[in-house]
Chain A
Amino acid sequence: GAGVSQSPSNKVTEKGKDVELRCDPISGHTALYWYRQSLGQGLEFLIYFQGNSAPDKSGLPSDRFSAERTGGSVSTLTIQRTQQEDSAVYLCASSLGGPTNYGYTFGSGTRLTVV
């Protein structure tokens, strides 16, 4: 596609439910990143994919968080047993390679609210 697409744009869920957030990167971008942006905070790195593998998942805050990428394209971030502190905007970015040469292209994010 022309840009990075994220869905849904907004999600309200009850505490304890599982949620899935989807990211559709730019076609041909091999690198994909997930970040979390909490109110008044900067961007917190969650996980990085190169192709379908995740060489760096050091930012996932707990084992309730997982992510996968299939076909070197679409990625899904899953949060199990959501908690109120999971409320944030989840941003996905993709890149042709590393950020130093190519930079990131960000999606518009998914705003998750846990009530």
Chain B
Amino acid sequence: AQSVTQLGSHVSVSEGALVLLRCNYSSSVPPYLFWYVQYPNQGLQLLLKYTSAATLVKGINGFEAEFKKSETSFHLTKPSAHMSDAAEYFCAVSSDTGRRALTFGSGTRLQVQP
């Protein structure tokens, strides 16, 4: 069984401030982990993914995430928020043990204040 918990349904930061979106996972086997972003009225877009090659994963738009097995976490960060980062962010896990679908968290809506 696999699951994802995203702490904080809403996060608000000032433009230029650090962005930290939290994700904890549960998986009975080594996981594959993903972050997706959803802009208003659009589908989800892949930001980055962890597939065991490196624990620090860099994605698009300056985002990165670090896989920490001991903490079962895969938090998303960006050093300096931009107004265009305002969106909803989803963490997802796949154990790829035959069930080919991703399990998504409930999402975190990021607001960026000017």
CB contacts (< 8 Å) of A100 on chain B: these are 32, 49, 51, 94, 96
Interface size (B, Cβ < 8 Å)? 27
**Closest chain A residue to B99, Cβ basis:** A56
- Considering only residues 26-55 of chain A, those with a C-beta below 8 Å from chain B are 31, 33, 35, 40-43, 45, 48, 50, 55
CB contacts (< 8 Å) of A59 on chain B: these are 101
Asked if residues A56 and B101 are in contact (CB atoms below 8 Å), the reply is: yes
B102 contact from A55, A104, A109, Cβ within 8 A: A104
| Residue A79 at the chain B interface, CB threshold 8 Å | no
Binding site for B on A (CB under 8 A): 4, 31, 33, 35, 40-43, 45, 48, 50, 55-56, 58-59, 91, 93, 98-101, 103-109
3 tightest Cβ-Cβ pairs between the two chains A and B: A106-B43, A42-B106, A43-B104
